[in-house]
DNA sequence: GACAATGTTCGCAG
DNA sequence: GCTGCGAACATTGT
């Protein structure tokens, strides 16, 4: 469940249960074919060290300490992290298992094998290697506007572009557009500065709200699009009905009645 | 069996 | 060289 708020929830799990414990071993889990995972040498580098910090940038998660090295994780489409005790047994689809001294374990799970794990020197190096823009939650209004401006494509594609802004994915891009009243396929040049400012306000509010629930969708307001991502459902903001279309290769749910400009 | 899935990356066309 | 698409990646669930 891996957009910014979902990864932030995972970061907190790591922070709460896996810091300041000496790493005894790092092992591969089950069925690790076709997944990019650290080799024996890199896994060995983590042994004897402790994670003293868990960081997140966009959808990327990092655990490590000032002196490094760091474990970098990307969840792909369905990855997650679990902190547990050895007696509980390893979770399903565990691909990499960090065993701390004592019983505590941290597993990187990835059922659909689109994620990866690697050992890196610093989070900054990895952020630069992927050409990530600033984290969405760190953006002030003017920076958001400048990073989202420029280009000719659809506004939704720009929101999803991790090199512009890191962290927004398909679900929360749709939610932001729905709550701002802008159709996903409106082209950037058609947007007024005021509309981009509206997107900023909505995106920050939405991402913070989802983070506050630890990405528990059932706790989010009933009126949100997240609860009605299905064609034909009633719009919560007007008399329209939800429709879907592909924008930027991704299925996009929106209300053609109150989201104007191209839907 | 067909299709879609919350993401990233690659190749190609413009 | 840059930008914008579409397809591909591997697997699960409906």
Chain C: nucleotides below 7 Å from protein CB are 3-13
| pLDDT digit string, tens, across residues A96-109 | 999 999 999 999 99
What pLDDT digit, counting tens, does each position of A126-138 carry?
999 999 999 999 9
Looking at residue A260, what is its pLDDT?
A: 84
Strand partners of residue A106: A83, A98
Distance in angstroms, CA of A251 to C1' of B4?
Answer: 9
What are the pLDDT digits (tens) for A202-252? 999 999 999 999 999 999 999 999 999 999 999 999 999 999 999 989 999
Strand B-proximal residues, CB under 7 Å? A 1-3, 6, 58-60, 74-78, 112, 114, 130, 160, 162, 169-171, 244, 249-251
Domain end, chosen from A85, A112, A129, is at: A129
- The domain total for chain A is 2
Report if residue A263 sits inside a domain. no
The reply to whether A109 and A192 lie within a common domain is no
Tell me which residue has tokens 């572009």: A161
Closest-lying nucleotide for A187 based on CA to C1'? C4
Confidence check: pLDDT of A2 > 50: yes
pLDDT digit string (tens) for A31-79? 999 999 999 999 999 999 999 999 999 999 999 999 989 999 999 999 9
Look at residues A129, A150, A174 and tell me which one is the last residue of a structural domain.
Answer: A129
Spanning CA of A112 to C1' of C9, the rounded length in angstroms is 10
Kindly state the percentage of chain A with pLDDT values over 70: 98
Nucleotides, chain B, CB distance < 7 Å = 4-9
State which of A105, A129, A153 marks the end of a domain: A129
Domain that holds residue A121: 4-129
CATH number at residue A214: 1.10.8.50
Does one domain contain both A117 and A160? no
A53 and A156, same domain (yes or no): no
């Amino acid at each position: 469940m891996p957009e910014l708020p979902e990864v932030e929830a995972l970061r907190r799990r790591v922070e709460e249960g896996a810091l300041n414990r000496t790493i005894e071993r790092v092992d591969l889990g089950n069925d690790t074919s076709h997944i990019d995972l650290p080799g024996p040498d890199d896994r060995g580098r983590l042994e004897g060290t402790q994670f003293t910090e868990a960081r997140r940038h966009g959808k990327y998660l990092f655990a490590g300490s000032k002196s490094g090295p760091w474990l970098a994780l990307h969840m792909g489409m369905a990855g997650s992290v679990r902190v547990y005790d050895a007696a509980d047994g390893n979770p399903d689809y565990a691909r990499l298992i960090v065993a701390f001294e004592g019983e505590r374990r941290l597993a990187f799970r990835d059922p659909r094998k689109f994620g990866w794990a690697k050992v890196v020197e610093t989070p900054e190096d990895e952020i630069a290697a992927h050409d990530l823009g600033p984290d969405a939650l760190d953006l002030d209004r003017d920076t958001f506007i400048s990073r989202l401006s420029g280009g000719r494509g659809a506004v939704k594609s720009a929101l999803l572009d991790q090199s512009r802004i890191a962290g927004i994915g398909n679900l929360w891009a749709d939610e932001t557009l729905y709550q701002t009243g802008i159709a996903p396929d409106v082209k950037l040049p058609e947007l007024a500065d005021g509309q981009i400012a509206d997107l900023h306000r909505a995106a920050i509010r939405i991402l913070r709200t989802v983070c506050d629930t630890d990405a528990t969708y059932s706790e989010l307001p009933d009126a949100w699009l997240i609860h009605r991502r299905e064609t034909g459902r009633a719009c919560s903001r007007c008399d329209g009905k939800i429709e879907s279309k592909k924008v930027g290769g991704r299925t996009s749910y929106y209300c053609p009645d109150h989201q104007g400009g191209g839907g």
